């Protein structure tokens, strides 16, 4: 297993509240599957971060791109492999 950080930059604040329940439900499902290491918002309102714990960059990209925030254009995705020290 590897860790991949999805940085979700705010793109559309007006739509954020609309899609927040779907985003949280999506992440809750992935947490139950053991695919999320950590998650949370940036306190300055710039967006948030999800750290996926999965087998490959391809799997992380598939999960991150399926997030309702990304699908609906609420947040811009930036994905990186992360090395926990």
Nearest CA to 31 out of 44, 40, 18 is that of 40
Burial class from Cβ neighbours inside 10 Å (0-12, 13-18, 19+) for residue 70 reads buried
Domain boundaries, the chain: 2-82
pTM across the whole model: 0.93
CA distance 29 to 27: 5
pLDDT in tens, 13-68: 999 999 999 999 999 999 999 999 999 999 999 999 999 999 999 999 999 999 99
pLDDT in tens, 65-77: 999 999 999 999 9
| β-strand partners of 8 | 48, 77
Q: Domain spanning 2-82 has what CATH number? A: 3.30.70.1060
């Amino acid at each position: 297993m590897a860790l991949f950080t999805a940085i979700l930059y705010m793109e559309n604040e007006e739509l954020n509240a609309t899609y927040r329940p779907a985003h949280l439900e999506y992440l809750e499902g992935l947490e139950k599957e053991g695919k999320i290491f950590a998650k949370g918002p940036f306190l300055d309102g710039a967006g948030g971060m999800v750290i996926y714990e999965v087998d490959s960059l391809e799997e992380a990209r598939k999960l991150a791109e399926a997030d309702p925030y990304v699908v609906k254009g609420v947040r811009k995705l930036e994905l990186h492999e992360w090395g926990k020290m």
